[in-house]
């Protein structure tokens, strides 16, 4: 997966992603963080990449993105392990 940073400021981050599913997953986890004021993505056209915008208070936008991805990975591993046990 390719990620391109479009704007990088302390409390504002805009990144371009090529996967809408990942963008939605990260958005859900971002919005669970009380330091995130805004965690959204948009796609101008289905043939264009997704642009995600993150605005924060209290911690940097990069840290919020990192935390959201780490939490998603942890949960997905847990769900994967539970699925393996169920077989």
Structure tokens that stand for 38 in this block:
């805004």
Would you state the pLDDT for residue 1?
Answer: 74
DSSP-derived letter for residue 31 is T
Q: What is the pLDDT along the chain (87 residues), one digit of tens a residue?
A: 788 999 999 999 999 999 999 999 999 999 999 999 999 999 999 999 999 999 999 999 999 999 999 999 999 999 999 999 986
Would you state the pLDDT for residue 86?
Answer: 85
Number of domains in the chain: 1
In terms of phi and psi (left: phi > 0; alpha: psi -120 to 50; beta: otherwise), the region of 62 is alpha
Would you state the pLDDT for residue 2?
Answer: 82
Domain of residue 65: give its range. Answer: 3-86
Distance between start and end Cα atoms, the chain: 30
Q: Of 43, 54, 44, 45, which is closest to residue 5 (Cα–Cα)?
A: 54
CATH of the domain at 55: 3.30.1360.10
């Amino acid at each position: 997966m390719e990620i391109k940073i479009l704007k990088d400021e302390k409390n504002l981050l805009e990144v371009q992603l090529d996967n809408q599913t990942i963008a939605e997953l990260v958005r859900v986890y971002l919005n669970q963080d009380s330091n995130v004021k805004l965690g959204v993505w948009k796609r101008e056209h289905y043939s264009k990449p997704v642009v995600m915008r993150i605005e924060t208070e209290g911690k940097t936008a990069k840290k919020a993105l990192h935390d959201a991805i780490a939490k998603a990975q942890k949960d997905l591993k847990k769900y994967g392990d539970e699925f393996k046990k169920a077989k």
